Amino acid sequence: MSSDAEASIPAPRIQLTPQEWRTRLSPEEYQVLREAGTERAFTGEYTDTETEGVYACRACGSELFRSGEKFHSHCGWPSFFDPAESDAVILKTDDSLGMRRVEVLCANCHSHLGHVFEGEGYPTPTDKRYCINSISLRLQPAEGSTN
């Protein structure tokens, strides 16, 4: 999965100073969203959620994923096979930790969401697994939806 457009990543529409982000976010949210941290596997509030609705960026509120694209990958984090809109996220090469991965960022504020993997054999339409930190998301349940 190459990120040819990576060299031309547009500036985020929402630009705040680190202090402004710290005011908006809890320390745990800041560590994941702004410092590319990762929550521990199987601890996030949305790992097994099946509630219908929209998953928005916890930092800026932009729609990122819909419940219809969520699937059970049993990896410890919420998994989606496609973003709500193709331009909702930005993919960026991540060579940290001595391996090549593809980082997923919110297109609106460039907050870290997680990573995307492909070719793992999940029975989804895209064969991609957007492995997203629960703490990066806020579920907006569909009207009348219950868990």
Using one digit for the tens of pLDDT, what is the confidence trace for 81-118? 999 877 899 999 988 878 889 999 999 999 999 999 99
In this model, does residue 129 exceed pLDDT 70? yes
What average pLDDT score do residues 38-46 get?
A: 96
Task: Name the domain count of the chain.
Answer: 1
Q: Shortest CA distance to 78 belongs to which of 24, 110, 25, 38?
A: 38
Q: Is residue 10 part of a domain?
A: no
Range of the domain at 44: 17-141
Where are the alpha helices (H) located in the chain, listed in sequence order? 18-24, 27-33
CATH number of the domain enclosing 45: 2.170.150.20
What is residue 86's predicted lDDT score, i.e. its pLDDT? 75
Q: Is residue 131 part of a domain?
A: yes
Q: Is residue 146 part of a domain?
A: no
In what side-by-side order are the strands of the sheet with 137-141? 63-66, 53-57, 137-141
Q: Is residue 147 part of a domain?
A: no
Q: Is residue 65 part of a domain?
A: yes
Residues 141, 52 contacting (CB under 8 angstroms): yes
Q: Is residue 75 part of a domain?
A: yes
131 given a catalytic annotation:
yes
Give percent of the chain with pLDDT exceeding 70: 93
The residue from 57, 60, 109, 131 that is catalytic is 131
The answer for residues whose C-beta is within 8 angstroms of residue 67's C-beta and 6 or more apart is 50, 51, 52, 53, 54, 55, 142
